[in-house]
Copies of this chain bind each other. A is one copy, B any other.
Amino acid sequence: MITSQEAYQIIQQYTFPKQNEKVALLSSKGRILAESITADRDFPPFNRVAMDGIAFAFEGINPAAILVEQIQFAGETQKQLQDTHACIEIMTGAILPLGCDTVVRYEDILVEEIEGKKVAKITIPFEEITRGQNVHRQGSDKIAGQTLLEAGIRISPAEIAVMASVGKQEVQVVASPKVAVISTGDELVDISIKPESHQIRMSNSYMLAAALQTWNIEAQLFHLTDDPEVLMEKLTQILEEHDVILLSGGVSAGKKDYVPEILAQLGVKKCFHKVAQKPGKPFWFGVKDIEHSESTKLVFALPGNPVSTFLCFCKYALPVIAQQKPRVEQVSLAKEVFFKPALTYFAPAQVYFENGKMLAIPFEGSGSADFANLTNCDGFVELSSEKSHFEIGEIVNFVRFR
């Protein structure tokens, strides 16, 4: 049986076929940028006034009496100072008028009407004013042609703002994989059906579909009955139409667990079956080669108990599907844990902050079939297979799901 680390490494060797697509700017949130974004102009594109007040030429100005020639509003074409000792009223966001280099805000001046003319007087000591103040110089943040965003980054609201500022109405992003979520098990019925006493409603597919939504991935849901012919026909089609397949259930030793055999017949080769971990020991992973491509189709057969399904999904499948290296978080255990088996133990846990540390309370609960283990927790603490006693304060990795 391979270790959790080995399983993780094996999966990382494969990738589904990556394609790019163009989407509207606001639809690119959460996606991976597939082009680099460069500044089409300087940032700011002009000497931008940063305060409401007056603009003038610093050299030789008389702070006691400065004639106000006119007003330069934001959005107006650039005006020109006529008299080098005069000033122009200016508004935040406006282009600095030609002939001016310095801005003093309204709070620091007094404007009076003298002989029908507007005259400004600076009311603070002139030594406090520096040449060029309150002007956001053209190109001081970025210059035209400079790279603003590199291809390969994850797009968040900040990157959307950057792309808006250079006029990207459409953005090239990496296409999401086509994902099929398949539940198997004849005891399962859809949530729209009232179950008989020996049946239960399927819930894993909905959980996985909801988790994929976070990454803007629309999964197609299937339920397949334990019938070899149906399985063969449906799996053939699903494999053709999807890049990644998430199966839940159907990979144990049962008499009707036909899935692994049928996958093999369909050219999906098993990379591993069973991982030394709890929960999720029966986890199965395989790939199908694609002609003339280095990519493969990925098949994750997740154990059917909800906590096992979710752990295997979050720890192994999601990093590949979302093309996101998992954020490695570390927590201090707030409660000791004893766990004897030589398995990596992923215990659901609640986290909170105290004195700058993130603490985790492992919630051992009532086993891998009980949802409550997930609804009260934020993620899983990852406890090494090489120890059986984990003390309070011990630092361990954390796989976040909330």
A224 within 8 A of B: no
Listed residue (A107, A194, A199, A401) with the most chain B CB atoms within 10 angstroms of its CB = A199
Which residue of chain B has its CB nearest to the CB of A150?
A: B375
A337 within 8 A of B: no
Q: Does A26 contact B329, Cβ atoms closer than 8 Å?
A: no
- In whole angstroms, what is the CA distance A312 to B332 when docked? 32
- In whole angstroms, what is the CA distance A41 to B201 when docked? 11
A76 within 8 A of B: yes
Copies of this chain, count: 2
A338 within 8 A of B: no
What's the least CB distance linking A65 to chain B, in Å? 21
Q: Which of A237-245, A261-269, A291-299, A353-361 contacts B (4 or more CB under 8 A)?
A: A353-361
Task: Kindly identify which residue among B213, B256, B331 contacts A26, using a CB–CB cutoff of 8 Å.
Answer: B213
- In whole angstroms, what is the CA distance A205 to B332 when docked? 40
A17 within 8 A of B: no
A339 within 8 A of B: no
- In whole angstroms, what is the CA distance A107 to B164 when docked? 61
A75-B255 contact, Cβ under 8 Å, with A249-B93, A401-B158: no
Q: Does B356 contact A395, Cβ atoms closer than 8 Å?
A: yes
A13 within 8 A of B: no
Q: Does A256 contact B310, Cβ atoms closer than 8 Å?
A: no
Q: Does B91 contact A202, Cβ atoms closer than 8 Å?
A: no
What's the least CB distance linking A127 to chain B, in Å? 19
Q: Does A356 contact B353, Cβ atoms closer than 8 Å?
A: no
Which 5 pairs across A and B sit closest by C-beta, in order of nearness?
A75-B186, A356-B395, A158-B374, A161-B207, A164-B203
Q: Which of A2-10, A55-63, A112-120, A363-371 contacts B (4 or more CB under 8 A)?
A: A363-371
Which residue of chain B has its CB nearest to the CB of A282?
A: B92
A375-B255 contact, Cβ under 8 Å, with A186-B74, A395-B356: no
What's the least CB distance linking A350 to chain B, in Å? 12
What's the least CB distance linking A49 to chain B, in Å? 10
Interface residues of A in 136-193 (CB under 8 A from B): 136, 140-142, 148-149, 153, 156-169, 185-188, 191-192
A74-B157 contact, Cβ under 8 Å, with A93-B304, A197-B46: no
A71 within 8 A of B: yes
Which residue of chain B has its CB nearest to the CB of A93?
A: B187
What's the least CB distance linking A153 to chain B, in Å? 8
Q: Does B168 contact A191, Cβ atoms closer than 8 Å?
A: yes
- In whole angstroms, what is the CA distance A257 to B51 when docked? 12
- In whole angstroms, what is the CA distance A107 to B375 when docked? 33
Q: Does B169 contact A77, Cβ atoms closer than 8 Å?
A: no
Interface residues of A in 342-396 (CB under 8 A from B): 353-358, 366-367, 369-372, 374-375, 377, 395
Contacts of A141 in B (CB 8 A): 366, 369-372
Interface residues of A in 55-91 (CB under 8 A from B): 71, 73-78, 89, 91
A44 within 8 A of B: yes
- A149-B375, A167-B191 are known; give 15 further A-B pairs, CB within 8 A: A44-B369, A52-B257, A73-B255, A74-B185, A74-B187, A74-B226, A75-B198, A136-B367, A157-B310, A158-B402, A164-B205, A164-B206, A356-B357, A356-B358, A357-B357
A162-B93 contact, Cβ under 8 Å, with A167-B194, A213-B29: no
